[in-house]
Amino acid sequence: MHCIRFAVVAFMSVILMAGCSEESTQPVNNENPEESLLKVGEGADQGYKVELYSENTFAIGYHRIYVKLTRTSTHALVDRAAVSIIPMMNMGQMKHSAPHEDHEGVAAINGLFHCAVNFIMAGTWELRANFRDEKNGTVGEVAVNVNVAAGNMLKSVVGTDGKNYFITLVKPEKPVVGMNDLEITVHYRETMMSFPAVENLTVKMEPTMPSMGHGSPNNVDPTHQQNGHYLGKVNFTMTGDWRVDLDFARGDSLLHTSFDITVP
């Protein structure tokens, strides 16, 4: 009798363990990742529906933009394409673009192509989404208008070399007390349509709390990773208003700027 009871218990244990193992390895449903994003516009061209999404409403600064391509005849998602976003600001007698990043490679990520734009001023922008379907070579473009609000996440600074640089604070998006990832991008204006990334700078960072007269320890100066993105660590030791000073150098001193960050 004891043997039978033991066998039943053992059998039930195996069933429970198998059930737990199967549940823990279930893949995350990524069929509709755009459901967590904000749709900012759509259009159609060459038999394709083009939808643009972002993580939040637009303000001056860096924004990731996600592009979804669908063949209208079959309603099938395009999973391999060359995709880019070109921002354009029409100011009447003058037009200009802004720093932007194309989707890397041709493979979609969970059905979306990842681009980015650094909006350098407030107002109405035209976003031109260009695509080339790798399956059949079809090329198309859709343009949507978006409104960009004022913001303090981008600084325009003239360097000692006379060039106009755009420094954008990407992270921390939600600063907290303690160590935070710090990410900035650096571009310069080559022409009104060209804003290349700057990849060869040495960056020195100093966070301070002006109202309290102190800084913080254990910060890590941002270093270049790729495409003009610099990553570091900033330590906010208490809540309140902080200032992060940034010095950029290429050999001799090039430029200085700062960002004010409130830690709730």
Give the residue from 29, 185, 222, 201 showing the smallest Cα distance to 98: 185
Residues 71 and 159 in one domain: no
Domain assignment present for 23: no
The tens digit of pLDDT for each residue in 79-115 reads 999 999 999 999 888 899 999 999 999 999 999 999 9
In angstroms, rounded to a whole number, what is the distance separating the alpha carbons of residues 187 and 9?
66
Residue 251: predicted pLDDT: 83
Sign of the dihedral defined by the CA atoms of residues 203, 207, 213, 214, in that order: negative
Residue 51: predicted pLDDT: 98
pLDDT in tens, the chain (264 residues): 444 343 333 433 433 333 333 333 333 334 677 889 999 999 999 999 999 999 999 999 999 999 999 999 999 999 999 999 999 999 888 899 999 999 999 999 999 999 999 999 999 999 999 999 999 999 999 999 999 999 999 999 999 999 999 999 999 999 999 999 999 999 999 999 999 999 999 999 999 999 999 999 999 999 999 999 999 999 999 999 999 999 999 988 899 999 999 999
User: What torsion do the CA atoms of 15, 16, 19, 21 make, to the nearest 10 degrees?
Assistant: -110
Q: What is the CATH number of the domain that holds 128?
A: 2.60.40.1640
Q: Which residues contact 30 (CB under 8 A, 6 or more apart)?
A: 110, 111
The domain boundary residue, chosen from 93, 126, 148: 148
Number of independent structural domains in the chain: 2
Q: What is the CATH number of the domain that holds 161?
A: 2.60.40.10
Residue 24: predicted pLDDT: 31
In angstroms, rounded to a whole number, what is the distance separating the alpha carbons of residues 212 and 237?
12
In angstroms, rounded to a whole number, what is the distance separating the alpha carbons of residues 164 and 160?
10
Domain assignment present for 72: yes
Q: Which residues contact 245 (CB under 8 A, 6 or more apart)?
A: 205, 206, 207, 208, 256, 257, 258
Residues 194 and 98 in one domain: no
Sign of the dihedral defined by the CA atoms of residues 54, 55, 56, 62, in that order: negative
The domain boundary residue, chosen from 103, 130, 148: 148
Residues 234 and 159 in one domain: yes
Q: Vertex 110, ends 108 and 113: CA angle to 5°?
A: 35
Domain assignment present for 13: no
The range of the structural domain enclosing residue 101 comes to 33-148
Domain assignment present for 162: yes
In angstroms, rounded to a whole number, what is the distance separating the alpha carbons of residues 27 and 148?
37
Burial of 113 (0-12, 13-18, 19+ CB in 10 A): buried
Residues 50 and 136 in one domain: yes
Residues 249 and 143 in one domain: no
Residues 92 and 158 in one domain: no
Residue 12: predicted pLDDT: 38
Domain assignment present for 11: no
Single-letter code of the amino acid located at 199: E
Residues 126 and 181 in one domain: no
Domain assignment present for 3: no
Domain assignment present for 83: yes
Q: Which residue's entry shows tokens 């060459």? A: 46
Domain assignment present for 216: yes
Q: Which residues contact 20 (CB under 8 A, 6 or more apart)?
A: none
The domain boundary residue, chosen from 106, 123, 148: 148
For the entire predicted model, the pTM comes to 0.86
Residues 184 and 255 in one domain: yes
Residues 190 and 224 in one domain: yes
Residues 179 and 142 in one domain: no
Residues 158 and 123 in one domain: no
Residues 60 and 164 in one domain: no
Radius of gyration (C-alpha) of the chain in whole angstroms:
24
Beta strands (DSSP E) in the chain are 38-45, 48-54, 61-71, 76-77, 81-90, 95-96, 100-101, 113-119, 123-133, 139-148, 154-158, 164-171, 178-188, 202-209, 214-215, 220-226, 229-236, 240-250, 252-263
